[in-house]
Chains A and B, each alone.
Chain A
């Protein structure tokens, strides 16, 4: 019979801190034993214990006894929770008492510190072994120091030799066999090893993962499983990019690259031993053991070409060196790098040209608290012109075969093209491509890059071998979406399409339901509906009846509102034009509505119009947000609003004109799904408001996002909580909001029948009787609308098609690469989320008539 394979399981601090978690560990071990494996469990100290031990080391001698008692009491209490005798941990307590009395304690000798730190893992492993044995899963206790030995590296200081060392391991079938004989389940400690003199040493950061990897290599294990609190490694940091996808499969080099360039799940140090020993490493989620996690192994090398991840590091500093002297000058770079070594600064990325060398420095102690950088620059300034650039972020695309994907990165490069890129670096290992940009844009850039990578198919997220579900779909219970109103009304809609031809259909009940959800956001004192989204009279009347005011952007819209909602008082109508002529302001002021000014020109040149009026100012608070450039309404390129720097000027001009500024307005974009956005806008706007003595209200605009497929609903409760937080600081001003699309998008659909189907060059085109003349958004903003074949609702999707209209423009595409049942001439196609910016943007291009509108 062949000897059973080892599996190494590693558990971190939170996984060993409660009885329930230890029971889980027992079940996981038992399952592997049942499969005929031997199991080695590597554990960290109980949560917080390592910090307590650090406190004990740093404390004055007379305080140490009390801190030691706290630690002892804590572990005894845990023993009781686990149903064990306190005597289980006595050997550790004796070791602690002995260490406190040691002559090395006074000087905090490094070997003594290592011994103290080691107690944490010794405690947790003793408790675990006793608990599992008591539960009927017999577990042996193994002192890791008998198996792992550390070797000092050249140039290593005393601190690193004892407290941040590393191990070299060779596979040893003999040790594997010897441990097998000692018992098929063993528990040992992470983080600790011995050195050649037999002293206890520590493995430094990421220590326990590294221990597990070393044991895996030593035992020639079938695999190492790192159990953590996250489902695995992701294609981006999920905190910044909720759409980040789980990485199912990586090779060692890719994992190393991702771990080194930003991901915190795994310490890069632990990949060396498993790579050398060709041991697969799995990352698994303790809370949800059923998830498959991430598997890291040698890979086949013949997988599909794909960027696997975007990683990023913040706090990067660049040193740019410029000199004509470096050109063809032997030894120039050697001198330059000599200075870096001399000042203890380690260089990470390098970009080099004939007359410029730019290097990046990671944040480190030497960089942030000592004046090494200043001294370095003083030295460098003698040989070249030096400039320090920061704070920067290094954004790295990781994936094997990067160079072969470069040609498909045009959209990604275009995104970078809009930013200041200080350094680009592509390593010869063909694994990464790094861009260094200003830190303050990195956060907003990451989700956009991720989206571009997917859209450009450079990140092959459809390949289930490589990519798993998104972070947000894993982190949230799937929201049960109510059946779409148009599914319910299928028969009626088919009838409308058959009798009327192409048509927009609106469901008033959906508009009202959406409005009620907004009205529940209590910090908002008044709601306005931006009628440009859809000015159908039935919608305006329904919203006005619910208490919404209406926001207009032209006098023609004002007249429309006055015609269809004659009862609505002027105080509930906003006039917020952009670059409108003088006459429109005069007419609006005369009709008694609230007028917003969004530039200096009207106050400067038409001051007389504003005498005695109450007006609002629209401010551009800076970089806008939104799903597309053309829907971002803030930032340098935007034509909307006053720069904050011009506000004081506007205030004085208004005062000269005899106008009172009673409102401040900001609106930064549309399609925003980040619930914190509005609180940020609110806070920034409120801070500007302090200078306006007549101020009564702040209007933070709309832009509430309507989720597309696979996107999360905007969490209105979080929006409300964020606003409430700001409101309590500024209770004296009313808060206004003015959504448009959010209220009506889902309430409208566009129906059109299939005209022709065409296969060309492997693409199947489904033509329908309405195109960009009816719905301009896909052509104008690359907007993505759900498209279904209403005649074949519920049938399996067998085709991948591009849906196009009848307009003679190559941009007349309503949706690309959509999966749907095979379509036939006359089928009714439904384009959803068409209630906003649909009919209102309709046009008669190609002399095609405007599309009919039907209200249910």
Chain B
């Protein structure tokens, strides 16, 4: 039980190098003398085409740099070195952002400051990428929750060619992916075993910007298998700061936000392939707008879960997919309620969370009513308020404990103008989407 690793003694984090061969990317790092290697496996990947070799090398470098967050954070040493090629200025900016903002929650939890530590050296400039004539088809990230399933439905409705993709082991995701009836790609990621050992011995630990890492993995996959789009499903409010710490915004999932999306896409287009596009299809939608659309996708009701506690295992029992206690469960239940018939909704969760008086406080937190918003990815307070206001009007909901409480004690003190559900369902700016998909929500 002794801790013999003192992260404060580590001087230097080094990007040692990365290579790709035979469907396997090997990413090497070092914390002083300790070598760490992460492996990412792309099942059945074809040989790299010569005309894409340069692009593959760039994408591999970016994956190497971004996946480094997991290893860097074990000690956050003062010095960051590159044994291999240095990033171009645009890449260096992106890396800095990911290390500072993507690790902000880590820094907050561990009470450390990163902003002045992350200094990324860079080369002067780099050449612009050219088009690679990638086949017109998309890799769509699937997560087992409602968001990616809505994207998949939108794209299916347009007869878009695409495959569903996920990284790592998850029965729940596989279950959902199988129901999409599309080609599936499950990429395997193996964290360096030495890191797990370091964590046992006293290394720093905490959240890493996993969406950024997965974005880099899928970008490399797009070049290997031949896809010209990498599609994620982050909605409008994803990436909004959860709190301010040390005058820095701390965001639970910064890499799901628009800032990362824009910067990463710009880098991919200018340095990897000008015809490879990275975007989030649901960015124009609010959480409520996403759930409104998900409410029509009955075939996933007994397979999906947005619960952050029970998210890896699938199960036929609702209880094994929805813990019923976390803010995600509460929010998704509430956000679906206006758009589903009541018996269908309670069947998904196996219980009625809005008729449980013990949860009144938790729902008040979602409404930001006398309590802080939970440290989790849930919709905005005005979305929860509008949803509850709508339920207060519905005869089949109005007597349920949480709804009745809201109706009696909170609703009379809210401005009715702020409770317009229809307004929250409006589709926002779609300029970042490929032209042909800008009408997909209509």
Chain A residues at the B interface, C-beta cutoff of 8 Å: 315, 317, 361, 363, 367-371, 373-374, 377-378, 380-381, 385-391, 438-440, 443, 570-571, 594, 614, 644-645, 662, 680, 683-684, 686-688, 690, 693-694, 696, 725-726, 728-732
Q: With A370-B341, A614-B1, A645-B325 as known contacts, state yes or no: A388 contacts B397, CB within 8 Å.
A: yes
Minimum C-beta distance from A617 to chain B (A): 16
B442 at interface by CB-CB < 8 Å: no
Q: Are A373 and B341 in contact (CB under 8 A)?
A: yes
The stretch that binds A, out of B23-31, B230-238, B310-318, is B310-318
Q: With A381-B395, A440-B319, A680-B320 as known contacts, state yes or no: A391 contacts B352, CB within 8 Å.
A: yes
Q: Are A368 and B396 in contact (CB under 8 A)?
A: no
Residue from B199, B310, B317, B343 within 8 A of A317 (CB atoms)? B343
Query: In the complex, what distance in Å separates the CA atom of A701 from the CA atom of B171?
Result: 25
Minimum C-beta distance from B387 to chain A (A): 15
Query: In the complex, what distance in Å separates the CA atom of A728 from the CA atom of B169?
Result: 8
B52 at interface by CB-CB < 8 Å: no
B245 at interface by CB-CB < 8 Å: no
Query: In the complex, what distance in Å separates the CA atom of A726 from the CA atom of B318?
Result: 18
Q: Are B169 and A729 in contact (CB under 8 A)?
A: yes
Minimum C-beta distance from A729 to chain B (A): 5
Minimum C-beta distance from B277 to chain A (A): 32
B405 at interface by CB-CB < 8 Å: no
Q: With A386-B395, A728-B169 as known contacts, state yes or no: A315 contacts B1, CB within 8 Å.
A: no
Query: In the complex, what distance in Å separates the CA atom of A371 from the CA atom of B339?
Result: 10
B88 at interface by CB-CB < 8 Å: no
Q: Are A385 and B399 in contact (CB under 8 A)?
A: yes
Please indicate the chain B residues that have their CB under 8 angstroms from the CB of A730 in the complex: 312
Please indicate the chain B residues that have their CB under 8 angstroms from the CB of A388 in the complex: 342, 396-397, 399-400
Please indicate the chain A residues that have their CB under 8 angstroms from the CB of B54 in the complex: none
Query: In the complex, what distance in Å separates the CA atom of A686 from the CA atom of B310?
Result: 9
B8 at interface by CB-CB < 8 Å: no
Q: Are B399 and A368 in contact (CB under 8 A)?
A: no
Q: Are A368 and B355 in contact (CB under 8 A)?
A: no
**Interface size band for B:** 35 or more
Q: Are A390 and B350 in contact (CB under 8 A)?
A: no
Please indicate the chain A residues that have their CB under 8 angstroms from the CB of B191 in the complex: 732
Query: In the complex, what distance in Å separates the CA atom of A127 from the CA atom of B298?
Result: 40
* A-B complex: 10 closest residue pairs judged by Cβ atoms: A693-B205, A377-B395, A687-B309, A387-B399, A381-B395, A377-B396, A388-B396, A732-B196, A391-B346, A729-B312
Query: In the complex, what distance in Å separates the CA atom of A683 from the CA atom of B317?
Result: 14
Q: Are A390 and B342 in contact (CB under 8 A)?
A: yes
Please indicate the chain B residues that have their CB under 8 angstroms from the CB of A361 in the complex: 343
- Supplied contacts A370-B341, A391-B351, A726-B313, 16 more A-B pairs, CB within 8 Å: A317-B342, A374-B342, A374-B394, A374-B395, A377-B396, A378-B394, A381-B395, A387-B400, A388-B397, A390-B343, A440-B318, A683-B312, A688-B309, A693-B206, A725-B313, A729-B169
Q: Mark B185-208, 1 if CB is under 8 A from A, else 0.
A: 000000100001001100011100
Minimum C-beta distance from A376 to chain B (A): 8
Q: Mark B387-411, 1 if CB is under 8 A from A, else 0.
A: 0000000111101100000000000
B109 at interface by CB-CB < 8 Å: yes
B78 at interface by CB-CB < 8 Å: no
Minimum C-beta distance from B314 to chain A (A): 10
Q: Which of B119-163 touch A at CB < 8 Å? A: none
B438 at interface by CB-CB < 8 Å: no
Please indicate the chain B residues that have their CB under 8 angstroms from the CB of A370 in the complex: 341
Query: In the complex, what distance in Å separates the CA atom of A380 from the CA atom of B170?
Result: 45
B344 at interface by CB-CB < 8 Å: yes
Q: Mark B311-349, 1 if CB is under 8 A from A, else 0.
A: 111000111100101000000000000000111101100
Please indicate the chain A residues that have their CB under 8 angstroms from the CB of B199 in the complex: 693-694, 696, 732
Q: Mark B285-303, 1 if CB is under 8 A from A, else 0.
A: 0000000000000100000
Q: Mark B344-368, 1 if CB is under 8 A from A, else 0.
A: 1011001110010000000000000
Q: With A439-B350, A693-B204, A693-B205 as known contacts, state yes or no: A377 contacts B394, CB within 8 Å.
A: yes
Q: Are A374 and B341 in contact (CB under 8 A)?
A: yes
A-B contact pairs, 8 of them (CB 8 A): A368-B344, A374-B395, A377-B395, A388-B397, A389-B355, A440-B350, A644-B323, A645-B325
Query: In the complex, what distance in Å separates the CA atom of A374 from the CA atom of B343?
Result: 10
Chain B residues at the A interface, C-beta cutoff of 8 Å: 1, 109-110, 169-171, 191, 196, 199-200, 204-206, 298, 308-313, 317-320, 323, 325, 341-344, 346-347, 350-352, 355, 394-397, 399-400
Q: Are A391 and B350 in contact (CB under 8 A)?
A: yes
Q: Are A684 and B309 in contact (CB under 8 A)?
A: yes
Please indicate the chain B residues that have their CB under 8 angstroms from the CB of A438 in the complex: 351
Query: In the complex, what distance in Å separates the CA atom of A644 from the CA atom of B191?
Result: 28
Please indicate the chain B residues that have their CB under 8 angstroms from the CB of A570 in the complex: 1
Please indicate the chain B residues that have their CB under 8 angstroms from the CB of A317 in the complex: 342-343
Query: In the complex, what distance in Å separates the CA atom of A391 from the CA atom of B171?
Result: 26
Please give me the residue from chain B that is nearest to A693 by CB atom: B205
Minimum C-beta distance from B270 to chain A (A): 36
Minimum C-beta distance from A403 to chain B (A): 32
Please indicate the chain B residues that have their CB under 8 angstroms from the CB of A571 in the complex: 1
Q: With A438-B351, A680-B320 as known contacts, state yes or no: A391 contacts B343, CB within 8 Å.
A: yes
Q: With A374-B342, A377-B396, A726-B313 as known contacts, state yes or no: A684 contacts B323, CB within 8 Å.
A: yes
Please give me the residue from chain A that is nearest to B201 by CB atom: A696
Residue picked from A680, A693, A725, most chain B C-beta under 10 Å: A693
Minimum C-beta distance from A773 to chain B (A): 41
Q: Are B313 and A729 in contact (CB under 8 A)?
A: yes
Q: Are A378 and B395 in contact (CB under 8 A)?
A: yes
Please indicate the chain B residues that have their CB under 8 angstroms from the CB of A644 in the complex: 323, 325
Query: In the complex, what distance in Å separates the CA atom of A729 from the CA atom of B110?
Result: 25
Please indicate the chain A residues that have their CB under 8 angstroms from the CB of B319 in the complex: 440
Please give me the residue from chain B that is nearest to A687 by CB atom: B309
Residue picked from B196, B308, B309, B323, most chain A C-beta under 10 Å: B309
Query: In the complex, what distance in Å separates the CA atom of A363 from the CA atom of B341?
Result: 12
Query: In the complex, what distance in Å separates the CA atom of A731 from the CA atom of B323?
Result: 22
Residue from B110, B309, B311, B355 within 8 A of A693 (CB atoms)? B110
Q: Are B170 and A367 in contact (CB under 8 A)?
A: no
Minimum C-beta distance from B287 to chain A (A): 22
Please give me the residue from chain B that is nearest to A621 by CB atom: B323
Residue from B298, B312, B325, B342 within 8 A of A369 (CB atoms)? B298
Please indicate the chain B residues that have their CB under 8 angstroms from the CB of A374 in the complex: 341-342, 394-396
Residue picked from A385, A443, A570, A683, most chain B C-beta under 10 Å: A683
Please give me the residue from chain B that is nearest to A726 by CB atom: B313
Minimum C-beta distance from B85 to chain A (A): 31
Query: In the complex, what distance in Å separates the CA atom of A728 from the CA atom of B174?
Result: 15
Q: Are B323 and A687 in contact (CB under 8 A)?
A: yes
Minimum C-beta distance from B160 to chain A (A): 22
Query: In the complex, what distance in Å separates the CA atom of A388 from the CA atom of B309?
Result: 29
Please indicate the chain B residues that have their CB under 8 angstroms from the CB of A380 in the complex: 395
Please indicate the chain B residues that have their CB under 8 angstroms from the CB of A693 in the complex: 109-110, 199, 204-206
Query: In the complex, what distance in Å separates the CA atom of A795 from the CA atom of B301?
Result: 60
Q: With A317-B343, A387-B400, A388-B396 as known contacts, state yes or no: A687 contacts B311, CB within 8 Å.
A: yes
Please indicate the chain B residues that have their CB under 8 angstroms from the CB of A645 in the complex: 325
Q: Are A368 and B351 in contact (CB under 8 A)?
A: no
Minimum C-beta distance from A357 to chain B (A): 15
Please indicate the chain B residues that have their CB under 8 angstroms from the CB of A443 in the complex: 317
Query: In the complex, what distance in Å separates the CA atom of A443 from the CA atom of B351?
Result: 13
Query: In the complex, what distance in Å separates the CA atom of A524 from the CA atom of B368?
Result: 43
Query: In the complex, what distance in Å separates the CA atom of A428 from the CA atom of B267?
Result: 76
Query: In the complex, what distance in Å separates the CA atom of A661 from the CA atom of B120?
Result: 34
Query: In the complex, what distance in Å separates the CA atom of A381 from the CA atom of B399?
Result: 11
Please indicate the chain B residues that have their CB under 8 angstroms from the CB of A391 in the complex: 343, 346-347, 350-352
Query: In the complex, what distance in Å separates the CA atom of A693 from the CA atom of B205?
Result: 5
Q: Are A594 and B109 in contact (CB under 8 A)?
A: no
Query: In the complex, what distance in Å separates the CA atom of A726 from the CA atom of B311?
Result: 12
Please indicate the chain A residues that have their CB under 8 angstroms from the CB of B318 in the complex: 440
Please give me the residue from chain A that is nearest to B206 by CB atom: A693
Please indicate the chain B residues that have their CB under 8 angstroms from the CB of A732 in the complex: 191, 196, 199
Query: In the complex, what distance in Å separates the CA atom of A381 from the CA atom of B310?
Result: 38
